[in-house]
Amino acid sequence: MRMSRAQVIISAVALAVLAAGCSKDTKAGGESDIVGEPAIAQIGADPADGSPVAHPLDGYSVGAEESALIFRAMGQATRTCMTAKGFDYDPGPESTPPPPNPIDTSLLGLVSVSAAQQTGYHRPPRPTGGTSGTGDPAGEGPEYQKALMGDRGTKAGAADPKADRGCRGEFERQLQAEGVKNTASDLVGTLRGKAYDHAAVDSRVRASLADWQNCMTKRGYDYANPVQASSAAWPEQVSQGERDTAVADMNCKEQVKLLATWNAVLNAYQQVYIGRNEQALQADREISQQRIAAAKKLLGQS
């Protein structure tokens, strides 16, 4: 399966404003937005094929493994609560967290040489078998659902954030009792989006995208940008022509260091926003660490 339609639209918008300057924004990062392009010491090596790429703001967010740990703690708290109310509750098998996205793909399209060689622009099929159980056995009666969901299980309660969440809310209740706040802030996500917007119109990224286009033209391909290549009308069955195009795409990305340039530029903008919002980011990270510690304690890992 290729890039989603939403990603293509986002990419088209981003590429359409490549010639535009950066606009002002008062939501985060200061009254006026970044003026000028942050310096980059050097453009490093391309990331290893398909490997995760770390960015500065990652240090202020909850990672995949930590999210899975909190999810397990929520399931354990829910099970204990349901047992106390006389119900059997199985949170279901633990689902494996998806691997981190190796690099931004909505602007750059394909990012893996091996994937290009094997499946072109189609994503490899997902492994079959197994379930990601929800812990909500079908056919349970209203008493069970009331214990599990509380008032949130009703139409009126579903829309009320203050409604009783039943045993589903047990983990949060335990955290509140210990004085641990809920991480309601999405500052990291906001700053990631702002850094992305700047990187997409940065002159160094634009130059690298132009170099990519020239490289593809010399190889006989007429695409304005990587997303145009990956979102072309490829048939459902992967053809050799698609593989060849995808391989040429990746070879050109490597030749002009497009992935490395994007990575370096994005990191630079993230560092700017971290400097402007360090205190708030540290506060959010402290709350996240408290939640992680509480989850480990509940699971007997502390």
Distance between CA 109 and CA 234 in Å, rounded? 14
Distance between CA 110 and CA 229 in Å, rounded? 9
Residue 214 reports pLDDT greater than 90: yes
288 vs 270, which has greater pLDDT?
A: 270
> What's the pLDDT tens digit per position in 242-270?
999 999 999 999 999 999 999 999 999 99
Q: What is the pLDDT of residue 239?
A: 95
Over the chain, what is the mean pLDDT?
79
Burial status of residue 27 (CB atoms within 10 A of its CB: 0-12, 13-18, 19 or more)? exposed
Distance between CA 227 and CA 209 in Å, rounded? 11
Check: CB of residue 60 under 8 Å from CB of residue 183.
Answer: no
- No. of helices (H) and no. of strands (E), the chain: 12, 0
Q: What is the pLDDT of residue 94?
A: 61
Distance between CA 239 and CA 249 in Å, rounded? 15
Check: CB of residue 243 under 8 Å from CB of residue 117.
Answer: yes
Check: CB of residue 215 under 8 Å from CB of residue 256.
Answer: yes
Q: What is the pLDDT of residue 49?
A: 84
> Within 13 Å, how many C-alpha atoms sit on residue 37's CB side?
17
Domain positions in the chain: 5-12+60-124+137-298
> What's the pLDDT tens digit per position in 82-100?
999 999 888 776 655 554 4
* Band of residue 161 on the pLDDT scale cut at 50, 70, 90: low
Neighbours of 62 (CB within 10 A): 19
* Band of residue 158 on the pLDDT scale cut at 50, 70, 90: low
Who contacts 114 (Cβ-Cβ below 8 Å, separation ≥6)? Answer: 49, 50
* Band of residue 102 on the pLDDT scale cut at 50, 70, 90: low
Check: CB of residue 65 under 8 Å from CB of residue 96.
Answer: no
pTM of the model: 0.72
- For residue 166, report the phi and psi dihedrals to the nearest 5 degrees: 60, -150
> What's the pLDDT tens digit per position in 166-196?
898 888 888 888 888 776 578 999 999 999 9
Q: How far is CA 121 from each of CA 104, 111, 163, 231, 250, rounded to the nearest angstrom? A: 15, 10, 45, 8, 11
Q: What is the pLDDT of residue 7?
A: 44
Distance between CA 210 and CA 214 in Å, rounded? 6
DSSP letters of 55-85?
-GGGGGS--HHHHHHHHHHHHHHHHHHHHHT
Structure tokens at 271: 């560092």
Q: If you average pLDDT over each of 94-108, 135-149, 249-263, 287-301, which comes out highest? A: 249-263
Q: How far is CA 286 from each of CA 1, 36, 59, 185, rounded to the nearest angstrom? A: 39, 32, 11, 12
Helix, strand, coil % in the chain, rounded to nearest 5: 55, 0, 45
